[in-house]
Structures are given as structure tokens and as C-alpha cells.
Structure 1
Amino acid sequence: MDIENKSVTFIFLLRGLTDDRELESLIFGLFLGMYLITVFGNILIMLAIYCDSHLHTPMYLFLCHLSFNDMYLVSITVPKMLVNIQTQDQRITYAGCLSQGFFVAVCILFECFLLGIMAYDRYVAICYPLRYTALMNSCFCIILVLISLFISIVNGLLHSLMILNLSFCSDLEIFHFFCEIAQVIKLACSDDLINNILIFVTASIFAGIPLFGIIFSYIRILSTVLKMPSSEGKYKAFSTCGSHLFVVCLFYGTGFGVYITSDVIDSPRETAVASVMYSIVPPMMNPFIYSLRNRDIKEALKKVIVKITSLL
């Protein structure tokens, strides 16, 4: 295959999850439903936190950012896939593909940092309750979020700029429903060793550090909770951490599962199907997890739903 000149405008083909037209109709309905559930669910969580002054605390501030990030993540990938299925046009421009890969990388890493920050917040609240207000003040919380977002953007830019140095062949088919950076790199005709090393190193560091922080935080939390004399105190402490721990297991578990299966499975399309588990399922499930296990969120959601229905 001939290497195209860099000045040529590349057109990538997002081949999606299947080539079966009948199956595509089923996938369209399924992903449309998942997208609507994700968007409306996360909007309700954000509205509940915004409207209830009792939820204007660091824990719910981070949850609000997590909900927005989840909603934004699925909005980057799913609508484009739905349009491709509906129009039977799988094309995406080089700039569009690079932009999509950049924003997905930013959202995924930002999710890792937010989960790490939320674990630290629970650690301070349970292990140092008397110092919680001083340690987790609003200024410090905003700085944590901004630093996490800045690192996520720099990481996404780094990978995107490295892709600009690659030369691509004429066969630009991506067997995926979005332009994942790792899948784009595989299409390069030039040497991609540095790009792959960079992905491995940055993923290990930037996803590993929050995970290490989460593990450390919950070890300390467990140690503190077991020392509590009151069973009611233990239950309250575990209930405040249960939702977050479930979300962490869902996100990191599906992410590691996709990483392992991508090495074992040779089919890129099967890998794309597996990637749905970390890019679509956690953002859809998070609102349910927090609303079902958190009494404060339940009460706030009831108030929001009553207000919405009264306006209709």
C-alpha cells in the first residue's frame, strides 16, 4: 500500500460493531436508548445537586463533575455512530477522527482522576472528620478538579500531536464505533513504536496513580471503620462509600477487561464490542448506582422530578 502525502485530506471509515444491516437496526435502537438514559440520568443527578443546598458539599461537587464528564463522553461517540448507521455513511475526516480521539482520551483520564479524588474525599471524611471542612475546602476542591482536567487535556494533546507525525496508508478502515487513539495508530504505515510506548507509559502512570490512591484510601477507610464501636456508624460509613466503590469497580474492571481481551482476541471488531463496557456502560449505570444507594440523592431527585412534572 502506498503512503499518502501528509497534505492529502484523509478520510477514515468507522466500520462500527457489525456489517449486518439487520443487526445494525437493533444496535441503533439499543445505543439510542442507552444514550438517552445516560444523558437524562446524569442531567437529573446534576439538577438534584444544583437545586438542593444540602448537597453543596465536596462529595457532591465531584459527583456533579463526574456526571457531566460521563454525559460528555457518550455524546462524543454515540451520536456519530447513530448518524453513521442511519445514513449508511461511515466516513469521518482526519481532523474529525483526531478530535474525537482527543476528547475521548481527555474524558477517560478525567474520569480516573475524579474517581481518585472522590476516594480521597471519603478518606478524609471518615478518617479525619473533625478536620474535613478545613482540608476539603471549596478552593482546594476546585484546584483538584482543574489540575486533573489540565493533566487530562495535556495527555490528550500529547497523543494527538504524536499521531500528526505518522504517515497513513490508503486502507483507513477503523473497525470500531469511534476513533480510539490506539486503533488509529494501528493504521499507520510509519513506525509507531514511540506512540505505543507513550500510550502504555501514560496509561500506566495517569490511570495507575488514581487507582493506587483509591486502594490506599479504602484500606485506611476499612481500618478506621472496623475500629468504630457503633454498628450504626459502621453502616453509615460503608453506605457513603458503597456507591463510589461500585462505580470504581465497574469502570476499572471493564477497562482492564478490555485491555486484557484486546491482547487475547485478534479480532478488532470483538475488541470494539468489548470497549462498549468501559465507554458506554459505566456512564449509563452511574446515575442508577448513586441514586439507588444514596438517600440524599434519592430525596433530591424526588424534589426535582416533582418540580419538573408540575411544570408540564
Structure 2
Amino acid sequence: MGTIIRHTFLDSNGIRMHVTDAGRGYPILLCHGFPELWYSWRRQIHALAEAGFRVLCPDLRGFGGTDAPEEIESYVMRELVEDIHGLFDALGIDKAGVVGHDWGGALAWQFALRHPERTERVASLNTPYLPPGPQAPSLMYRDAFGLTDKTFYMRHFQEPGVAERELEADVRDTFQKLMRPAKYADAVASFMTVGNGSSLLDKIGPGETFLSKIDLDTYVRIYKRTGFRGGLNWYRAMDLSWEEERELPSTIDLPALLVVADKDPVLRPEMAELSRPHVKNLRIERIADCGHWTQQEKPGEVASLLIDFFGDLRDPAMD
């Protein structure tokens, strides 16, 4: 019969969240990145549920079927963490394994840091855990990349409306250009710097996407409805999050897994070692021939690593 994915809406931290729920057993929460949806975990949902887990995948604040408040202040990391905390409360979950990719990885680390009592273990795809640096992120990227023809994309995102116009001009083209397999890593990397008359997607040439027609149609249908503003506001709140995170402890003392992709041009695999001083019980795994969109490009490898990492939490009666 296969795994049944149940869709539900719940109230958490003042917003209405769309969450998918599949399987039964020990709960595992999967948090997506930008510009994605719960749907980015579609293959891991089935694999984990069939392995004996309850799998929860929300559309995070600003994405898909979940509310997207207007105010940038609504997207500080404190609020994003409390969305998950409230989700656990609404579903009656005391503790879970927490997994994230890209921005979802940053959220997973922060949830584990702030709510270790609700986190059994934490896993991140691509995103290392790093405490806040001495400069606000926007200033750090300014100094590293400059303000002319190599302006870093996260700074380009800061002005409301600019990136929205570029990404929403042709939503199908946006996803076809961004969601490319590892052999196009260099082309996709051109997304990271803009300026000199170029926009985010100008320098990405033709090439295939790893998305099927159904996958692509799903992203296009939903993003044509929602636009990109909600997800972009995570970047616009990053300096506010940095201010608040400086007041927090900086060490995570939980079993942790960091999965890196060897051809990710954004979150480079060598960055993983920077996490070791701050995560006491860290396991690092590397997936070969994989770009940034790890769980979509290498679904089987990701599922196997997660099942291995969380495997002993399964109820023996499920076997």
C-alpha cells in the first residue's frame, strides 16, 4: 500500500503551520531550506516511515501552506525556533530527532541549542554549526565580497522587492536553473554573486534539472501562489538574529550528524570541520558527486545515513 502522508494545519507561536505527518514510531522532524518546501523531503519521508519512524515535515514560516507574516522581525531565529517548539506542543511530542537542510539546518542547530530538553539528536545537511562571529552577517559578506560586480547574494536579498522580481519573473525558469545536479555546480555557483548589470539568474546557462516534471510542476504551482518573499525574509532578518544569538551559549552537547556534499559551492564541505569545537559529539559524513540540494539529488544516501543515525531509537516492536 505504501506510506500515507497526512496533511494537517496547526497553530503554533501565533501562526498557522502546514505540516505533513507520516508513519508511526519515534518522531523525526525534517526542516527544509530556501527555496524549498516540505516536498523536498518526499523520498526520505517514505524511507524513514517504512523504517519505523513517525516523520514530520512542516512548511516553515514564510513557505508553502504556512503563514508568511509581513514584518521582517517575524523571521528572527528566535521566532523560527519557537514555531517548532509550538509544533511539538500542538502534536503532543515531548522529544524528537531534528534534521535540517540549508536554512533548515541552521534552524535545527538553533533548536538543539535552545531546547536540548526537546531534542534527542540533531542532524544537518550541508549547514555547519557556527556561533555568531564578531560582525553582523551583512557586514561580513560586504567585506568578503565587496559591493560592485561581486556582491554576495545574501546582501542582494536585503532590499525588499528586488530579488522577488527576479525570482518571480519566470518561476519555472528559476527552479530549472537553480535545481541542477552536481555537474553544474560551477554554473549554479554564479548565483552567489551579482552586480555589474547582472541579476541572480543571468549567469546560469542551460542544463537539466534533477527534478521530474511532477516535482517541477509542484514547486512552480506553489511558488506562483506564494511568491518568494517569506523565504527571503529569513535572510533579511539575519542581522537581527545575529544580535540575539550573541547572548546565547555556543556549545551543543547532543549526538549530532553533519552530512556534507562534496560539490556544494555554497556550504562547502571543508566548512564542516569548523563545527567540531562547538559540537561535542559530532559525526561528519560526506556524500560524493552531490551539489547543494542534497536530499533531492542523493535521496537514497541521505535516507540511509539518517536511518543509521537514528536507527536505535525505533521501537523494537516495529521490526
Which TM-score applies when normalising by structure 2? 0.29
**Which structure shows the higher strand fraction?**
2
Structure with bigger RCO (C-alpha 8 Å, 6+ apart): 1
**Which structure shows the higher helix fraction?**
1
Which TM-score applies when normalising by structure 1? 0.29
Structure of larger gyration radius: 1
